[in-house]
């Protein structure tokens, strides 16, 4: 597979910058900055909703940049030892992700770099993790105006503890709770979809497509729907298969996921372990709150693996740059 030159990679980054500026211009400003000026939770929620109502080009384009291009660029510059450029690209990507008021976006931008650095330079990986953590906490404070008005340091510390605890619950507890809610809803309240819950199958089956994540949001959060808010209640990948086919869906889900993991491993033949894990880990983690087909296509897993073949240097080049022949001072950040 041919590798892109350094100049081409730099042009890709400049094209990303142009898209980011265009997106902000269409939105009429930078949403996260606009959110800091509001103290109305509902207004901030509608601002977040507005971000997703700008058409498929901007919606899919921004997701593509945050989930695929920015992460691969950061990883590329790290592997070619262009650390300052990697830092700049990472900062731009994280801020762009935060600007769209999505807590997961900074994670997607830096996750491959964090995983790769965990294999090679753990201190740098720790710094990336701290940056991501602080970004998520900052966004949680921005999008919850009531948490910003604290009278003293004691209350501020208590508020910070609440934010961190809620984020930990969101990561460790909520995915299981959401799956439980889906299992309670199907088939007790809603019948199994029998394939109509998949957009690509519904047209072939001649039935109306049912977006189950939207259906679950409407079912479990009617008060938000009454306020004019639209959203999704996403569960782990196997919940979608269960909602369509019942218990046999669990078996199908496991077989499909296993096949995809095998294909991802096969595509990474010839690369070092750190790079293979870095490329695939974010998408694998996304399966805890996303359907497999969504993660593969709109989640960018397929494109991530494909573009890594031309955007990232070959393993031999990476190994040569990090070999012991280079002095210790050159290998430390």
Give a yes or no: residue 309 inside a domain: no
Q: Is 192 exposed, middle or buried (0-12, 13-18, 19+ CB in 10 A)?
A: middle
120's CB contacts (< 8 A; 6+ apart) are 274, 322
Query: Residues 25, 50: one domain?
Result: yes
Cβ atoms of residues 103 and 27 within 8 Å: no
Would the pLDDT of 326 be above 50?
Answer: no
Query: Residues 290, 179: one domain?
Result: yes
Query: Residues 324, 292: one domain?
Result: no
Q: What is the DSSP string of 161-217?
A: HHHHHHHHHHHHTHHHHHHHHHHHHTTTTS---TTTTSHHHHHHHTS----HHHHHH
Angle at 184 between CA 181 and CA 190, to 5 degrees: 105
Query: Residues 280, 142: one domain?
Result: no
pLDDT confidence of residue 329? 43
Domain carrying residue 262: 173-299
Residue 270: pLDDT band by 50, 70, 90 thresholds? Answer: confident
Give a yes or no: residue 305 inside a domain: no
Query: Residues 179, 281: one domain?
Result: yes
Taking the C-alpha atoms of residue 188 and residue 211, their distance in angstroms, rounded to an integer, is 18
- Torsion sign across C-alpha atoms 304, 256, 241, 167: negative
Give a yes or no: residue 61 inside a domain: yes
Q: Model pTM?
A: 0.85
Would the pLDDT of 162 be above 90?
Answer: no
Provide the domain count of the chain. 2
Query: Residues 126, 244: one domain?
Result: no
Query: Residues 28, 113: one domain?
Result: yes
Taking the C-alpha atoms of residue 193 and residue 189, their distance in angstroms, rounded to an integer, is 12
Taking the C-alpha atoms of residue 89 and residue 77, their distance in angstroms, rounded to an integer, is 9
Give a yes or no: residue 306 inside a domain: no
Give a yes or no: residue 253 inside a domain: yes
Give a yes or no: residue 30 inside a domain: yes
pLDDT confidence of residue 330? 45
């Amino acid at each position: 597979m041919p590798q892109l030159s350094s100049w081409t990679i730099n042009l890709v980054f400049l094209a990303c910058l142009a898209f980011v500026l265009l997106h902000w211009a269409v939105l009429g400003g930078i949403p996260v900055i606009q959110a800091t000026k509001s103290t109305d939770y509902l207004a901030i929620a509608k601002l977040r909703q507005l971000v997703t109502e700008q058409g498929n080009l901007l919606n899919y384009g921004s997701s593509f940049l945050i989930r695929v291009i920015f992460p691969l660029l950061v990883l590329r510059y790290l592997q070619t030892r262009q650390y300052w450029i990697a830092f700049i690209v990472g900062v731009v990507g994280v801020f762009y992700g935060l600007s769209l008021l999505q807590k997961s976006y900074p994670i997607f931008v830096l996750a491959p770099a964090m995983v790769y650095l965990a294999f090679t330079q753990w201190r740098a990986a720790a710094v990336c993790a701290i940056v991501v953590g602080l970004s998520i906490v900052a966004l949680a404070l921005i999008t919850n105006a009531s948490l910003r008005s604290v009278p003293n340091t004691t209350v501020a510390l208590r508020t910070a503890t609440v934010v961190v605890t809620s984020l930990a619950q969101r990561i460790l507890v909520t995915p299981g709770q959401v799956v439980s809610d889906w299992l309670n809803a199907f088939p007790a309240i809603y019948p199994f979809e029998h394939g109509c819950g998949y957009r690509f199958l519904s047209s072939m089956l001649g039935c109306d497509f049912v977006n189950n994540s939207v259906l679950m949001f409407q079912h479990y959060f009617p008060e938000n729907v009454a306020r004019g808010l639209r959203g999704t209640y996403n569960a782990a990948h196997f919940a979608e298969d269960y909602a369509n086919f019942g218990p046999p869906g669990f078996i199908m889900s496991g077989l499909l996921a296993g096949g995809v993991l095998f294909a991802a491993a096969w595509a990474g033949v010839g690369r070092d372990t750190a790079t293979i894990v870095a490329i695939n880990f974010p998408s694998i983690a996304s399966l805890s709150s996303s359907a497999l087909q969504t993660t593969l296509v709109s989640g960018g897993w397929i494109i991530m693996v494909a573009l890594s073949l031309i955007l990232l240097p070959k393993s031999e080049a990476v190994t040569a740059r990090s070999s012991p022949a280079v002095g210790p001072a050159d290998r430390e950040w």
